[in-house]
């Protein structure tokens, strides 16, 4: 009875060459193929049927290891579990788990691709990719997304939260969005470790406490008429683009991307489509007589679909053109965007136009949701009068 199991030995196994099954006892067999390949097999009866379960090749699974595996299988049989069925179920479960496992980098790539078509700015996807690659991936990009916890998110954010607060805040929001996407897709579960309210707000100081606010360099409104005199001495595309930007209080991208089909000069209206606006909402710009003169001057030398054409064929003026113009004017202390502040200060300090009229001219969305709900119109008539006054002020009248 003592020899019912453990019949084989390492020495004996090394000498065996005959193809077939060589029993060790307890259902464990060394199987030798016609080609001489040796492997382990556990054979047993279940519901009157003979079954066999491979335990691995001899070169990987030793005799001692095979006996341990066979013992575990016999214990399963005592518990009424078919070891072969259990092994197949485990394999299927592992495959299912693997299919539902994605790394953070894989989820980030999938999220960006899924949302790319919905982003109005083509550079938006690149910004997402670059910030996540730079600040998140080094810490947990290669980890399965289900393993990402608060400690890992903090590891990515803490080093940059004080010095690069704006960037860090965007990174946090993007990590949160990717993890939310992964949760909905079934790749992770539980609370989002990157959420701010009620979570990271207890671990990191508020942006307002640490962020260094940097305003765009702006010209005092009292100096604006003199600046316009100097600007109008220049006869080039960049100068006319900057002049129209100042007269309309618009943004650089709105100016350089302006197309001829957006202008109705007879009605003195420039309609900027929603896809070109920061707020994603169509914006009607009232044109003063001075603004119309600029557009007509550019129409007389029209080159392509853009009001302010660039040097390359069928392209608009470069977004650096206005900055370079200011440098040539020896006004590197200013930015094109800063002229919106110049206009806003002029309205607030020298006119009686209501705040909401000035904000509408700048295409700012109202922060107060209740106020925004009642603001159905765009105050165009009032804005037209205000922009005419602004043009007169700039002309020294």
Complete DSSP assignment for 3-22: TSS----HHHHHH--SSEEE
Q: Measured between alpha carbons, how far is 31 from 29 in angstroms, rounded to an integer?
A: 6
Q: How does pLDDT run across 2-32, given as a tens digit for each residue? A: 457 889 999 999 999 999 999 999 999 999 9
The answer to whether the CB of 79 falls within 8 A of the CB of 59 is: no
* SS3 at position 38: strand
For residues 389 and 323, membership in a common domain is answered with yes
For residues 90 and 191, membership in a common domain is answered with no
pLDDT at 53: 92
For residues 155 and 138, membership in a common domain is answered with yes
Please check whether residue 215 lies inside any domain of the structure.
no
For residues 129 and 230, membership in a common domain is answered with no
Please check whether residue 216 lies inside any domain of the structure.
no
For residues 314 and 374, membership in a common domain is answered with yes
Q: How does pLDDT run across 79-127, given as a tens digit for each residue? A: 989 998 888 888 876 666 555 678 999 999 999 999 988 876 667 888 8
Q: How does pLDDT run across 194-229, given as a tens digit for each residue? A: 999 999 999 998 877 766 545 557 899 999 999 999
For residues 260 and 341, membership in a common domain is answered with yes
For residues 42 and 118, membership in a common domain is answered with no
For residues 151 and 198, membership in a common domain is answered with yes
Q: Hunting for tokens 């001075």 — which residue is that?
A: 290
Taking the alpha carbons at both ends of the chain, their separation in whole angstroms is: 118
Strand 269-272 and strand 263-264: the pairing is antiparallel
Residue ranges making up the domain that contains 204 = 104-210
Q: Among residues 51, 76, 99, which one ends one of the domains?
A: 99
Number of folded domains in the chain? 3
pLDDT at 365: 73
């Amino acid at each position: 009875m003592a020899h019912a199991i453990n019949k084989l030995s390492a020495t004996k196994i090394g000498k065996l060459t005959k193809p077939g099954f060589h029993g060790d006892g307890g259902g464990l067999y060394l199987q030798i193929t016609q080609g001489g390949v040796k492997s382990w097999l556990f054979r047993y009866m279940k519901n009157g049927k003979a079954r066999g379960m491979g335990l691995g090749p001899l070169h990987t699974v030793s005799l001692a290891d095979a006996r341990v595996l066979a013992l575990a299988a016999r214990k399963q049989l005592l518990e009424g579990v078919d070891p072969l069925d259990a092994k197949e179920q485990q394999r299927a479960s592992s495959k299912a788990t693997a299919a539902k496992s994605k790394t953070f980098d894989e989820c980030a790539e999938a999220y960006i691709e899924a949302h790319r078509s919905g982003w109005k700015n083509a550079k938006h996807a690149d910004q997402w990719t670059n910030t996540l690659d730079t600040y998140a991936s080094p810490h947990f990009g290669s980890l399965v997304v289900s393993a990402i916890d608060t400690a890992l998110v903090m590891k990515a954010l803490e080093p940059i939260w004080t010095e690069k607060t704006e960037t860090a805040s965007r990174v946090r929001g993007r990590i949160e969005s990717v993890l939310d996407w992964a949760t909905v897709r079934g790749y992770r579960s539980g609370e989002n470790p990157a959420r701010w309210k009620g979570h990271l707000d207890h671990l990191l100081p508020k942006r307002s406490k640490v962020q260094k606010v940097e305003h765009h360099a702006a010209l005092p409104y009292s100096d604006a008429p003199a600046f316009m005199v100097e600007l109008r001495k220049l006869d080039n595309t960049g100068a006319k683009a900057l002049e129209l930007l100042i007269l309309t209080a618009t943004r650089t991208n709105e100016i350089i991307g302006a197309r001829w089909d957006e202008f109705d000069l007879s009605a003195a209206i420039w309609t900027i489509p929603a896809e070109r606006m920061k707020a994603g909402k169509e914006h009607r710009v009232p044109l003063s007589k001075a603004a119309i003169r600029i557009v007509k001057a550019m129409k007389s030398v029209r080159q392509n679909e853009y009001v302010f054409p660039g040097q390359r064929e069928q392209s608009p003026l470069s977004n650096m053109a206005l900055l370079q113009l200011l440098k040539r004017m020896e006004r590197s202390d200013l930015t094109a965007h800063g002229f919106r502040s110049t206009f806003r200060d002029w309205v607030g300090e020298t006119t009686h136009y209501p705040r909401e009229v000035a904000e509408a001219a700048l295409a700012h969305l109202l922060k107060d949701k209740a106020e925004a709900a009642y603001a159905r119109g765009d105050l165009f008539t009032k804005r037209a009068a205000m922009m005419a006054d602004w043009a007169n002020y700039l002309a020294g009248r």
